[in-house]
């Protein structure tokens, strides 16, 4: 879903995949990034630890696009 919406709205998608141990490490926690699973749009954390519907994600993308 996310790659397809990235193409539709001309967004750069970055996927970060790490081990659970890495996400729990003090070094990762100092980055300020959310613990997976999570979806961020620019600096906005849309969801962490659970699913997000395609409609909710698309609405967030549209909202972000109009605020630029």
Q: Give pLDDT tens digits for 13-68.
A: 988 888 989 988 999 999 988 887 889 888 889 999 888 999 999 999 999 888 76
Domain count, the chain: 1
User: Rounded to the nearest 10 degrees, how much is the dihedral formed by the CA atoms of 7, 54, 1, 16?
Assistant: 90
DSSP states along 1-68: -HHHHHHHTT---------HHHHHSHHHHTTTPPPSSEEEETTEEEEESS---HHHHHHHHHHHHHH-
What pLDDT does residue 68 have? 65
Per the structure, the complete domain to which residue 8 belongs is given by 2-67
Residue 36 and residue 45 in contact, taking contact as beta carbons nearer than 8 Å: no
**Distance between CA atoms of residues 54 and 5, nearest Å:** 9
């Amino acid at each position: 879903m996310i790659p397809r919406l990235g193409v539709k709205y001309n967004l750069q998608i970055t996927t970060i995949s790490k081990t659970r141990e890495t996400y729990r490490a003090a070094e990762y926690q100092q980055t300020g990034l959310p613990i997976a699973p999570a979806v961020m749009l620019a600096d906005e954390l849309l969801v962490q630890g659970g699913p997000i519907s395609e409609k909710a994600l698309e609405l967030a993308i549209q909202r972000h696009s109009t605020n630029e």
